């Protein structure tokens, strides 16, 4: 999958000095720009920290990235899905947690009916709410977010880039110019 960008603390918080990332723990994650039958996408609003994010999450041991994505999408959106197209990969070095977060993202579509959500306990505590919105509105919302926690700043940059890349791919597929 194509590497779109690598983010470090110094890229998001300019006053922070670069550090060596050699001893960082690696976390694999899968996310999607998930379209429903109305051409709206799933967006999670993290109400406690005032930001939005794409559905997805950590890939568990023994799962492929695609299997982890399908599981996460079912949990967070209540939808069975079909992966359609690769968007790309983004690596985040989060100094505060000494973690290298490697996210892979796809365009996916909902199959069948939307069912009940199954948020994890920490997601409930953070006030996760599922919204369905247009791609352009999702870009606007994430672009206007002012996250209230450290992770939110990384998520905002990461998911905004994934959304803009998805928009570009869709326009290219439809023969439109960016």
Q: What is the DSSP string of 117-139?
A: ----HHHHHTTEEEEEE-HHHHH
CATH second-level architecture of 3-16+25-173?
A: Alpha-Beta Complex (3.90)
Mean model confidence pLDDT for the chain: 96
pLDDT at residue 174, rounded to an integer: 87
Q: What band does 145 get if pLDDT is binned at 50, 70 and 90? A: very high
pLDDT, tens digit, for every residue of 91-100?
999 999 999 9
Domain definitions of the chain by residue range:
3-16+25-173
104 pLDDT higher than 60:
yes
pLDDT at residue 177, rounded to an integer: 64
Distance CA 71, CA 54 (A): 14
> Is 0.75 surpassed by the pTM of this model?
yes
178 pLDDT higher than 60:
no
Distance CA 109, CA 80 (A): 9
């Amino acid at each position: 999958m194509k590497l779109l960008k690598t983010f470090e603390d110094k890229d998001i918080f300019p006053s922070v000095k670069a550090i060596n990332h050699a001893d960082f723990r690696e976390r694999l994650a899968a996310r999607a720009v998930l379209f429903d039958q109305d051409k709206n996408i799933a967006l999670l609003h993290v109400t406690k920290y005032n930001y939005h994010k794409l559905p997805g999450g950590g890939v568990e041991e023994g799962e492929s990235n695609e299997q982890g994505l399908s599981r996460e999408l079912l949990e967070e959106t209540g939808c069975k899905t079909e992966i359609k197209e690769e968007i790309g990969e983004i690596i985040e070095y989060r100094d505060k947690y000494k973690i290298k977060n490697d996210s892979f993202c796809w365009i996916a579509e909902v199959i069948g009916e939307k069912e009940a959500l199954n948020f994890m306990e920490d997601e409930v505590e953070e006030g996760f709410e599922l919204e369905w919105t247009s791609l352009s509105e999702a870009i606007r919302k994430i672009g206007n977010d002012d996250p209230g926690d450290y992770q939110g700043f990384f998520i905002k940059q990461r998911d905004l880039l994934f959304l803009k890349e998805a928009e570009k791919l869709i326009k290219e597929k439809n023969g439109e110019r960016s």
